[in-house]
Chains A and B, each alone.
Chain A
Amino acid sequence: MPKIVFNGVTKFYGSSLVVGEVSFAVEDESLTVLVGPSGCGKSTLLGLTAGLDVPSSGSIAIGGRTVNGIGEEVALIFQHNNLFPWATACDNVAFGLEMRGLRRRAARSRARQLLQEVGLESCLEKVPEEMSGGMRQRVALARAVALSHKVILMDEPFT
């Protein structure tokens, strides 16, 4: 089960230090909040955890496995551009399921269930622009939980 361990994680972009010597652990089945001023490296840390980027030094391990690329155990919800504007709510949620090998019809069926669970049964065929900000974030949440990820990272998703 996932226990996330940051061990001396440092990240440079060019010559500028973005994250410096971060070490901490996140226990299983816990909720952890990173708080800090803009530009302090919160999003970078989440990106590193999701495997979208690699630390300049140090390491991150999830459930004992060192993160060195995008893994199947992590979902990341961004503040903006969470949803694909060219896809309906249902297709947005079904996207990840299709990418993991589910047939389109089965993926959409599962997506409908998840959207009903977040109270968006009336928005299945709406595109993101036709929904409010809160509705979009709920679709993003449904999409994140669709793949039963063990870790859900949220980068200011409710602002």
Chain B
Amino acid sequence: MKPPGPSVSFFFPIVQTVAPIAPVAWIPLAISAAGIGSGAAVLIVVLTIFGSVTASAVAAFDAVPLEYIKVGRLLGAERTRLLWRVVLPAAAPSLMTVARMSFFGAWMAVLAGEMAGINSGLGALIMFGQQQFNMRLVMIGIVTIGLLGFLVDQLLLAFQKRLLWWENRAQKQDLGRAENRF
């Protein structure tokens, strides 16, 4: 691979600096920038996952075996088609993992935001339950958060299986080999 260009060299340290900042640290900034409400929640999610998503996506693209790119170029793929037909499919498994992990990060970030200042949503419901000494309300909030997270992850998993169809076939093949061995 070519060494990173000047724009990557300039922006990547910023991304690496932003990535480890905890969601709660962004809450005051998000509320002062977007006010109390869903705007602030969206901003918190974006600020929280931007760094980690960017860093993970760059790592996923960097991990694409050089041979695939060489083969693609030798077979006549130009820049755009090389990206669409070779680099993206090669990076797709890692990118899907990034998407699923980022969802959990975003989900926790928005709930933290709702609990710590954005007075709406499930996080605020839990805080309201705490203030009212209403454990039933707190439990309803917690279970709903868990179920919604599970549901969205299942949807992402189903999408991943559909998108990465070749991996499912490879896994079946591996299972068949393992069964034959034992």
Contacts and interface: CB of A to CB of B under 8 A. Distances in A.
A127 B170 contact: yes
B23 to A, nearest CB: 34
B74 A75 contact: yes
B92 A86 contact: yes
A50 B73 CA distance: 10
B99 to A, nearest CB: 17
Interface of B: 65, 67-68, 70-78, 81, 85-86, 89-90, 92, 164, 166, 169-170, 173-174
Given A76-B70, A129-B170, A99 B77 contact: yes
B94 to A, nearest CB: 13
A96 B92 CA distance: 21
Nearest to A126: B169
A143 B77 CA distance: 14
Contacts of B71: 76, 78, 81-82, 84
Contacts of B166: 85-87, 127, 129
Contacts of A72: 76
Contact of A99 (B65, B68, B81): B81
B76 A52 contact: no
Nearest to A127: B166
Interface of A: 47, 50, 52, 70, 72, 74-76, 78, 80-82, 84-87, 95-96, 99-100, 127, 129-130, 143, 147
Contacts of B81: 99
B74 A76 contact: yes
B75 A130 contact: no
B97 to A, nearest CB: 16
- Smallest CB-CB A-B distances: 6 pairs: A129-B170, A96-B75, A99-B76, A81-B67, A86-B89, A127-B166
A76 to B, nearest CB: 5
Contacts of A129: 166, 169-170, 173-174
A70 B67 contact: no
B68 A81 contact: yes
Given A82-B67, A96-B76, A130 B169 contact: yes
Contacts of A78: 67, 70-71
Given A86-B90, A95-B72, 15 more contacts: A47-B70, A50-B70, A76-B71, A78-B67, A81-B68, A82-B67, A86-B89, A86-B92, A87-B89, A95-B77, A99-B75, A99-B77, A127-B166, A129-B166, A130-B173
Most buried by A among B71, B76, B89, B166: B71
Contact of B65 (A52, A81, A100, A127): A81
Contact of A80 (B67, B77, B173): B67
Contact of B89 (A52, A75, A84, A99): A84
Contacts of A95: 72, 75, 77, 85
Contacts of B75: 95-96, 99, 143, 147
B170 A52 contact: no
Given A86-B90, A130-B169, A52 B74 contact: yes
